[in-house]
Chains A and B, each alone.
Chain A
């Protein structure tokens, strides 16, 4: 693929090597996607419809109230935008890759992945890219900017950077939880079931966290931290952060999710016996 690497006398750095592998994989999938342009455009329309629906729901609710707990209309719109942004970046880069894992296991094609001289989890995560996801993420950014103007926000550069960084942490949480879901599917359900479960779960991300109470809130912020994914970065951005501990909690739960999913993944791999031969 990359000739400069083959002529290199010393092996290239790990980061550089993984970077070039990711680029090659992405180039392939973009070429593939552009073969079905109409379909590509229609999927963007689908996502726009559903995004508009979520925004419409919020608009309808705020016809009847001025505030949901401490959240005002445009703050919640900003939250819905942020949740969509995180979800779409995740969709663009990882969703289809992770959902395909159970299929790779079922057909035994995982063998080839395991044999390649790269980290398997990396290869599984970066095989394809979904360009439409980036387009939809851009529409979410547009909504966030519009909401920010309505709120007359003037965030400091540090807030913006922090917001973006926390959004990436959100994508990371999506990855870990999705990985867990798909590993569970080794034993139980088919791929569509996982995607369905995923969408249901992350539906909660766009709801203001303070609406939740009791064990439900505890469970979805400490065990499966979907309630933190979008809420914490948005709180940082719009100045609703109750204490810096909320950020720490997001980071800690994100790390915990990753560790658990990695452990379960390794355990599952050890049980993996090829389907072929």
Chain B
């Protein structure tokens, strides 16, 4: 629908194999990105309210931790976390989540499949995964802008507890890690949404996955306050690289060699998730019969 691209020279711009030139392909996805921004802007008020409401449970968690530290008394630490580090942990989680969370994308993908709307993508010279990825980043961009006021205010109010790194190199690694976090989150959600090829109702599966991401990703608490073996076991899953890892980078808890290998592992998970997404898509397409197409 919105994708009826009227790009000049769309037909003549193909190379002999029938694929659009790289340049044209760029422009196509740039266009998708723009459409994504326009679509997302419709929901800017929703995003604003959403991010503001999201601060309520965050405040609850922060108060809970403050009470824990107060009950322990003095300069207590929890598994090496001072109170300000613990608070910073949650603040950074909020920051990363704002930038990388998959919001509506998985539901939309599942709905596209269920309602047969992906048929049109199969006939156009456009790749569905890249198309969705552009929409994802566009949505995130608008979300960050809409949420900047509530989240920014919240961060400023907690500046006394802000305990993150000030080293530009660390920030650079953090930025790089966030980028991969976003990709990892997206590819995993994308793959889950593709289950819609086989089952009618995917939301239960998505919510069960959310639950695992929530605890094993470190959204709920820093993973290293868990008993050692459990923490180690979780580090073998991709979930910590969806949140816990970038946050520990900015808290300077991962440095030097561990930082390099961590980034490498994160990159590997991104690649694996990407390959899995491609495979599942191919399998799904073979299974697909355009219902209501």
Contacts and interface: CB of A to CB of B under 8 A. Distances in A.
Interface of A: 36, 39, 42-43, 45-46, 49-50, 53, 56-57, 60-61, 63-69, 188-190, 193, 196-197, 200-201, 203-204, 207-208, 210-213, 216
Contacts of B79: 64
B57 A203 contact: yes
Q: Which of B50, B63, B215 has the most CB of A within 10 A?
A: B63
A55 to B, nearest CB: 11
Interface of B: 45-46, 49-50, 53-54, 56-57, 59-60, 63-64, 66-68, 70-72, 78-79, 201, 204-205, 207-208, 211-212, 214-215, 220-221, 225-227
A45 B72 contact: no
A216 B225 contact: no
B144 to A, nearest CB: 18
A122 B56 CA distance: 30
Contacts, number: 96
A189 B63 contact: no
Given A45-B204, A49-B211, A50-B211, A57 B71 contact: no
A65 B204 contact: no
A211 B204 contact: no
A200 B63 contact: no
Contacts of A193: 46, 49-50
A61 B68 contact: yes
B221 A60 contact: yes
A196 B214 contact: no
B52 to A, nearest CB: 9
Q: Closest 5 interchain pairs by CB?
A: A211-B67, A42-B204, A203-B57, A49-B211, A46-B207
Q: Which of B68, B72, B220 has the most CB of A within 10 A?
A: B68
Contacts of B225: 60, 63-64
A42 B227 CA distance: 30
Contact of A53 (B67, B204, B215, B227): B215
B35 to A, nearest CB: 20
Contacts of B227: 63
Contacts of B45: 188-189
Contacts of B60: 203-204, 207, 212
Contacts of A67: 71
Contacts of A188: 45-46, 49
A46 B66 contact: no
A135 B191 CA distance: 30
A211 B56 contact: no
Nearest to B230: A60
A157 to B, nearest CB: 33
18 contacts: A36-B201, A42-B204, A49-B212, A50-B207, A60-B226, A63-B225, A64-B68, A188-B45, A189-B46, A193-B46, A193-B50, A197-B49, A197-B50, A204-B60, A207-B64, A208-B64, A212-B60, A216-B59
